[in-house]
Amino acid sequence: MTYALLISVFVIATCGLVYELIAGTLASYLLGDSVTQFSTIIGTYLFSMGMGSYLSRHIGKGLIGKFIQIELFVGILGGSSASVLFLVFSYLGTFKLILYFLVVLVGILVGLEIPLLLRILKARLQFKDLVSQVLTFDYLGALVASLLFPVFLAPKLGLVRTCFLFGLINALVAAWTAWLFREQLPQVKWIRAECGAVTLLLLLGFVYANQITALAEESLYSDEIVFAKSSPYQRIVLTRWKDDLRLFLNGHLQFSSRDEYRYHEALVHPGLQSIANPRTVLVLGGGDGLAVREILKHPSIEAVTLVDLDPEVTGLFRSNPILRQLNQDSLNSSKTKIINADAFVWLEQNPACYDFVVVDFPDPTNHSLGKLYTTAFYRLLHKHLAENGAAVIQSTSPLFARQSFWCIVRTLESVGLRATPYHTYVPSFGEWGFVIASKQTYIPPGSYLENLKFLTADTAAGLFHFPKDMHPVDVEINRLNNQVLVQYYESEWRQVTQ
């Protein structure tokens, strides 16, 4: 019996430290600044344990029954703390308050445990043995928890599951204690039922932990989600608020239906309008069909080839009625041919030349995407341009990512293309940049199509002027073997978002 209780000390000490570690990890994960978060969480937790120890004097009769009840409380509160905090962070604004409230509550309950156990064990051991053994097992448990947590629990099980697992262990300690003392306890049946209910709840939490996490993430989008699907390539989420439709890929905004016309008109027409009688167009990326919509406004166009990696995206924009209205069914046009392939590899394997090429890739956020902005890629692009043709490259923001923008310009120039940079304002994106790349000198068009919402010849001239804060800067050329653009981009956008 004594050893059984000492093992309980060991187990609850492990549980107690795990809750503390989870709260600290979650806080630094969600709020950042890990030193501050960990430090304040540990302080608060230890202080609350002290309060628990102080309060333990007020517990008089029915020690064992109270101990069991406290274990069950710790199990429920501690066990569900990670999921509660995740959900609170996603749905409510008062994360910190609830975080510290939970830490205090769990701390108090954990603080009650050891004094109560000391008192239960008092009759069975001499004072010096009692203190030495209980504290030994207490600290041992702490050691095990602190080793297990970073090495095994957090990476293998994840925070939410780990939390439920230890809640379960607390509940099992309660059930075990109830069994050990079954003859001394009044209302054993009632206690057993409590233990069973708590265990079941925590088990359910453990099993459905993934769904809880998913629920928390969904709510990070501010508007109502009308479509969400994970393709092998990315997470596609479409949101809607009143008449504003927004597409997110892996959480990055692709367009807002309120102002996308600004982006897509600016992307397509300055380049395309400058070409006499364009017939064939290649679009790389742009699976939403919005660039194709603009291209098809030019009557001379005979064929548009769209190469986009993800069949889920092109499929969605070919079938969803609202989206087909938005892209004016451009992806179902008889002139449009859709190819789902990796653009770089496809371009290497296909020899055709095009009058106009739209390069609308995601920003160079990682080394894989960075390859699509290198000299190697632009040399390939050069080979696919007709002699009088042109290409346009979406080139991130010349205001927020000035080095990145001019790096793209210089890289295009380094492979023998003439680069003509320009920019426009898209409210949902901010100041945005593009570069026209051509074999001949680019001459801006004298007029634009009548049916555009944004571009006219007299205002378009302004796109090519760069105010002082977007002037060229000295940059290196982006190559496969240096990938400087990824570094520029990362450092520049980090400054903006922090």
- Residues identified as active-site: 360
Q: Does 348 bind another protein (CB under 8 A)?
A: yes
- Rule CB under 8 A: choose which of 367, 383, 467, 496 binds another protein: 367
- Interaction residues for another protein, span 179-198 (CB under 8 A): 196
C-alpha 303, offset from chain centre: 37
What is the Cα–Cα distance from 389 to 437, expressed in whole angstroms? 9
What is the Cα–Cα distance from 42 to 309, expressed in whole angstroms? 47
What is the Cα–Cα distance from 120 to 425, expressed in whole angstroms? 72
For another protein, give the closer residue by CB, 67 or 206: 206
The amino acid occupying position 196 is G
What is the Cα–Cα distance from 373 to 479, expressed in whole angstroms? 8
Q: Does 342 bind another protein (CB under 8 A)?
A: yes
Residues paired with 391 in a beta bridge? 357, 437
- Interaction residues for another protein, span 207-236 (CB under 8 A): 207, 232-233
Q: Does 339 bind another protein (CB under 8 A)?
A: no
Q: How crowded is residue 319: how many other Cβ atoms within 10 Å of its Cβ?
A: 11
For another protein, give the closer residue by CB, 64 or 477: 477
Q: How crowded is residue 383: how many other Cβ atoms within 10 Å of its Cβ?
A: 11
Q: Token digits for 283?
A: 């679009």
The amino acid occupying position 298 is H
Q: Binding segment for another protein among 40-48, 80-88, 336-344, 387-395 (CB under 8 A)?
A: 336-344
Min separation Cβ 233 and another protein, Å: 5
Binding mask 370-389 for another protein (x = CB under 8 A): -xx-xxx--x----------
- Rule CB under 8 A: choose which of 204, 226, 353, 461 binds another protein: 204
For another protein, give the closer residue by CB, 200 or 352: 200
What distances in angstroms separate CA 59 from CA 113, 270, 327, one per listed residue? 11, 80, 70
Q: Does 4 bind another protein (CB under 8 A)?
A: no
- Rule CB under 8 A: choose which of 68, 121, 309, 475 binds another protein: 309
Min separation Cβ 481 and another protein, Å: 4
Min separation Cβ 83 and another protein, Å: 16
Q: Where are the alpha helices (DSSP H) in 331-391?
A: 343-349, 367-370, 375-383
Q: Does 365 bind another protein (CB under 8 A)?
A: no
- Interaction residues for another protein, span 444-483 (CB under 8 A): 477, 479-483
- Interaction residues for another protein, span 282-301 (CB under 8 A): none
Min separation Cβ 371 and another protein, Å: 6
Q: How crowded is residue 61: how many other Cβ atoms within 10 Å of its Cβ?
A: 6
CB 307 within 8 A of CB 346: yes
For another protein, give the closer residue by CB, 59 or 477: 477
Q: Token digits for 265?
A: 């008109």
For another protein, give the closer residue by CB, 16 or 286: 286
Q: Does 83 bind another protein (CB under 8 A)?
A: no
Contacts of 30 (CB under 8 A, 6+ apart): 85, 89, 95
What is the Cα–Cα distance from 109 to 144, expressed in whole angstroms? 20
Which stretches of the chain bind another protein, using CB under 8 A? 151, 155-156, 196, 200, 203-204, 206-207, 232-233, 309, 342-345, 348, 366-369, 371-372, 374-376, 379, 477, 479-483
